[in-house]
Amino acid sequence: MDIRFTFAAIIFLTLHTAHSSNPPFACDWSNPASKSYPFCNPKLPIPQRTKDLLSRLTLQEKLSQLVNTAPSIPRLGIPAYQWWSEALHGVGNVGPGIHFNASISSATSFPQVILSAATFDSLLWYRIGRAIGIEARAIYNAAQAQGLTFWAPNINIFRDPRWGRGQETPGEDPLLTSRYAVSYVRGLQGDSFHGGKLRGHLQASACCKHFTAYDLDNWKGVDRFLFDARVSLQDLADTYQPPFQSCVQQGGASGIMCAYNRVNGVPSCADFNLLTKTVRKKWHFRGYITSDCGAVGIIHDQQGFTKSAEEAVADVLRAGMDVECGSYLTDHAESAVLQKKVSMSEIDRALHNLFSIRMRLGLFGGNPSSLPFGMIGPNHVCSKEHQYLALEAARNGIVLLKNSPTLLPLPITSPSISLAVIGPNANASPLTLLGNYAGPPCKFVTILQGFQHYVKNAVYHPGCDGGPKCSSAKIEQAVEVAKKVDYVVLVMGLDQSEEREERDRIHLDLPGKQLELINSVAEASKKPVILVLLCGGPVDISSAKYNHKIGGILWAGYPGELGGIALAQIIFGDHNPGGRLPVTWYPKDYIKVPMTDMRMRADPSTGYPGRTYRFYKGPKVYEFGYGLSYSKYSYEFVSVTHDKLHLNQSSTHFTVENSETVRYKLVSELGEQTCQSMSLSVTVRVQNHGSMVGKHPVLLFMRPKIQKSGNPLKQLVGFQSVMLDAGEMAHVGFAVSPCEHLSRANEAGAMIIEEGSQVLLVDDQEHPIDIIV
């Protein structure tokens, strides 16, 4: 019998029966009154329809619709609506909008976002978003959802390695995060991969969160509710804001969530400059803006930003927020109106934005079953295609960090191989493998079960008491188990008790006695051991990296419902790993840097080391973009359309840098057409020199030839994931926009292109580009 297994052999597909109930919708054509309402006429423009609807509402009815749990308006045939549903990496039941029951009891649980990001595969992210959107619509059509607005993706920058919610994000790089946002949003909302398909209804509504500069939850007594993020205009422009701008302008997101924290003294949800001037007027956002849950109440009650609750309500509506997650507006909006602190025009603007989204979702056009997306049914949830996609995402995201001396992959031809799987995460529950904000999965395979498909009699020992906290460990027992087998896999790391929403870490070490367990088992084993890390944020494993008794190290994030299969397929050579780290792995003494310091750029005068690979000037355990494979790949620049860029358009500006005058252009003065005309076409030849097929991300960076103060040390400007057979060679193309990729923010927050030499980088290959102003 072949000890390998196929995907089909392990997938159990639940057959969902059709649900007889209809989903909630307005404008029921069986009601004669519906035909007389202009707001029910789908042939009219949405602004005209919302204007008609608002004209029919009383003040109390209007105010009731400004919170996430919007009640029904029976006299107009409008059902209740729930704005809060979650779909971070699969349709979840964290929010009150989704109900799993006997008809649809689960949904596909993809890897946590940080691991999917490690694939550097925009098309994969789009496919994940599309699958989630399809399952969301199916659950709604089965009358198990009270809304179709999903508060995902989380596109905050993973600025500090201790952040408990970093696992929810695509990582630390603005370009990577932006591309993820665009791909996910287009997929979920029913757009095409390249965008531009949406002309009418949304499949589901995506909401980019948390706007803005939100990346601290609870650290040493500082919590997200009271934290005032002091952020420079420079860092806002080239780090914190780009993902949200891309999410709106390229992704076409229909929702944005404002964050709990203040930014430079002003609560995000009460910041007119952020919500109206930037998002709506500068970026031309046409969706709705929600608060995070409870964020309005804290503005007065905890932050003390306003003198009264009514002023807090007035501030958020005036700033541009449309709906509150919570009940503060229910309690205080009417009195704010009576005190003339809130105008009817501000209320109507919010309601226009809210009802426009419900109309775009097809919820004001009669029974949705006869409208676009109406035929999506329970058979589309937990489909074989979606479950295979979850497996694909996990195995393409897992990062091989060490393989010495080519210990991996393990042999699978010998029937007598013996294996021990040891560690607190080796047989972990779904809560660990799925990560936070997950719903009930279609199928769940533990790490141990994955290995048992290859080695039936694999021995298991938890090693630690009490899970990854490992406050005590049965080291002697684990050592005895390790001595008796040919190979040992140690499955260590973190879980949601160590990192999650409202829990930031205070150290970067492995918890408790994990390291002692690793070293003891490694020393006693016959052969070098394999170390697997389950975690969202990075850990300092320097000792394991340089321990010759540890032959292989893999980071598996939180790999989702089929992560156990994905990991086993890599370790036993049925899949060639290709993931790359989407974050820098810092040494443990990085915790000396206060998590509250929002500065990205290093400050040598005070010893501040900076943050992320773009600005951090200290030692690293592993670099952003690092990842090994069972194949060796080579690269060569084949062509670059321009080696010299002459910027003659617009005014030339000057700045002084180290007593030298530097000439530069303002991107805003060049104009979109000029920027497009200067685009570089870069072609790189990539070859797989290994004996296995491999999915390989090719990362293109840029760095200045001469480092200047304030400039990134290097910066990702493009990436492509390419599948190469053994020995195959392929050309990979990149479009590099000087305005987007070769610019930086100055201290005033303006994007500029400086004169000088830049270097394009792919691995160890370089290509110079001169910018002449």
Residues with a catalytic annotation lie at 292
DSSP classification of residue 55: H
d(CA 286, CA 248): 9
How distant is the alpha carbon of residue 350 from its chain centre? 27
Which token pair is 764?
């160890």
The 262-263 sheet, strands edge to edge: 228-229, 262-263, 266-267
Q: Would you give the end-to-end CA distance of the chain in angstroms?
A: 69
d(CA 695, CA 686): 12
Residue 22 CB partners (closer than 8 Å, separation 6+): 143, 367, 369
Query: Could you tell me whether strands 266-267 and 149-150 are parallel, antiparallel, or unpaired per DSSP bridges?
Result: unpaired
Q: Where are the beta strands (DSSP E) in 483-641?
A: 487-493, 529-534, 550-555, 633-640
DSSP classification of residue 363: T
User: Is 157 within 8 Å of 209 (Cβ atoms)?
Assistant: no
Q: Which position has the token pair 């104009």?
A: 671
d(CA 336, CA 334): 5
Which token pair is 13?
């597909």
* Alpha helices, H only, 402-446: 430-434
CA atoms within 13 A on the CB side of 438: 26
d(CA 511, CA 716): 32
DSSP classification of residue 404: T
Question: DSSP string spanning 718-767?
Answer: EEEEEEE-TT-EEEEEEEE-HHHHS-EE-TTS-EEEESEEEEEEETTEEE
